[in-house]
Structure 1
Amino acid sequence: MRTVVVTDPPRADVGDAEKLGEYGVATVHEALGRVGYLGPEYRPAWSGARIGGTAVTVVCWPGDNLMIHVAVEQCRPGDVLVVATNSPTTDGLFGELFATALAQRGVRGVVLASGVRDVVELREMGFPAWARAVSAQGSVKATAGAVNVPVVLGGQVIHPGDVVLGDDDGVMVVPRADVPRALTAGQARLDKEAVNRAAFQQGELGLDRYGLREKLPDFGIEYLSYEKWAEDQR
């Protein structure tokens, strides 16, 4: 790995990233064809946060957060810090003091392939964090890594400047070039869901609204009275 800090990479529009964050992870993930999701391992340190921002990426060594210190300087308002490690770890590489420094720079949150700590303090200050673990395990500052290079989290390649979304459903990435499509498709999905929600509030069933009822026989599904079912069990 080349130990490099790439400065000023192109970023997606901050306003577009914020709008996608408002749509939510599940909506955008579905709208784009079920792509970009980092998987269920990435959980929020505290519930209720929802963000969309542009990625500043970091590669750290296990148990070593030197490069997070280096990366803070590269962050701008509207960014999300994305921390990868070059081998699996759950060490708590990020906590309240990092969050304080990032919040001062207008960073919207952090996503960690490692662990996070100081959860109570993060919740109290309202700084969103997603991680693979919560861990008090400390770290050193001894090994060089990289900043603003492509990284892989949860099987997803994240480039600096891509849009990263996070909420209670998890985390996903939208490639920078795909942001316009995500905005259009996400809004269309929200509009469709609003129509369906209104129908369900009026008592319509998904079986009928989605045209599933006539397909049930193709799945081999039968409707039996309880008496008939009980008789068949004898």
Structure 2
Amino acid sequence: MSECVLHQAAEMPARDLLDRLRRLETSLVSDVFGRWAGAAGISPIAGLPSGQVVVGPAFTVRTRPGDNLVVHKALDIARPGEILVVAAGGQRDRAILGGLMGQYAASRGIAALVVDGAVRDRSALDKSAPPVFAAGVSHLGPYKDGPGDLRCRVSLGGVAVADGDLVIGDEDGIATIPRSRAEEIIAAAEAKRLAEEAESEAISTGSWDRSWIDASLTIREVPAAR
């Protein structure tokens, strides 16, 4: 029998905070948070319609690469609206979850599945799972031996994520926000969204200021060869 360490669950975030985050994009969050909030190499795999943004608090899982025993346990105890964030070492040789687990996650009200590892059964996930983000796809199945930790601090694609941190996912991938800085970062991303809307309007009217480019460069022209 394998050990599973279960840490105390974080408090669920306020609904209005999630609603504000849902109106943003991963790129906005990443830009205002030092351009490193995104988990590199983890991309949307299935279940995400074009233009959809998914948000929720992280339910963190640390498992042995290629093993999903504690992931099954996480599906049993996750609260509706949480996003399962599985740190599986980034290895893509064995799938951590597939169609049946995806369907079960949807039945439990889990908002999304994020796996730093591989998944499989892409068509089934598209049909019946919540949005799935992963490092890759593999038809090879997982081991079920454990051990693992639940609701612990994990590394997801090189980014530290704690249980209860906020996760936003869209067509560009995922970004994470430390719970303690959620209001600050969401407000900054909202301001950047307004600034980008103004720039878009300037492009459409032919008035986009491009002077900063020449101000940032020293151009050295090369004469034509004779």
TM-score, normalization by structure 1: 0.86
CA change 1:190–1:175 in 2 (3 A) is: same
Question: Which 4+ stretches in 1 moved above 6 angstroms?
Answer: none
CA change 1:212–1:190 in 2 (3 A) is: same
Give 3-state SS (helix, strand or coil) of 2:155's partner: strand
Contact 1:24/1:165 (<8 A) preserved: yes
Contact 2:70/2:147 (<8 A) preserved: yes
Give 3-state SS (helix, strand or coil) of 1:100's partner: helix
Matched residue, 2:218:
219
Query: Residue 144 of structure 2: which of 128, 141, 144 is its match?
Result: 141
Rounded Cα–Cα distance in structure 2 between residues aligned with 1:81 and 1:190: 27
1:102 aligns with 2:105: yes
Instruction: Name the structure where helix makes up a greater proportion of residues.
Output: 1
Deviation readout 1:76-122 (Å, 9 max, x if unpaired): 12110011125745411111111112112211111101101111122
Rounded Cα–Cα distance in structure 1 between residues aligned with 2:181 and 2:34: 12
Cα displacement (A) at 1:50: 2.4
Cα displacement (A) at 1:18: 4.3
Matched residue, 1:23:
24
Q: Trace 1:41-190 onto structure 2 (pairs within 5 A).
A: 41-46=41-46, 48=50, 49-85=52-88, 88-125=91-128, 127-190=130-193
Contact 1:83/1:112 (<8 A) preserved: yes
Deviation readout 1:176-225 (Å, 9 max, x if unpaired): 011101221111011111111101001124414xx334x16x52255xxx
Deviation readout 1:21-67 (Å, 9 max, x if unpaired): 3301001111223231111x111103534211110011111221100
1:38 aligns with 2:30: no
RMSD: 2.3
Q: Which consecutive residues of structure 2, in runs of 5 or more, have no partner in the other structure? A: none
| Identity within the alignment, % | 28
Size of the aligned set, in residue pairs, is: 222
Give 3-state SS (helix, strand or coil) of 1:152's partner: strand
Q: Which consecutive residues of structure 1, in runs of 5 or more, have no partner in the other structure? A: 223-228
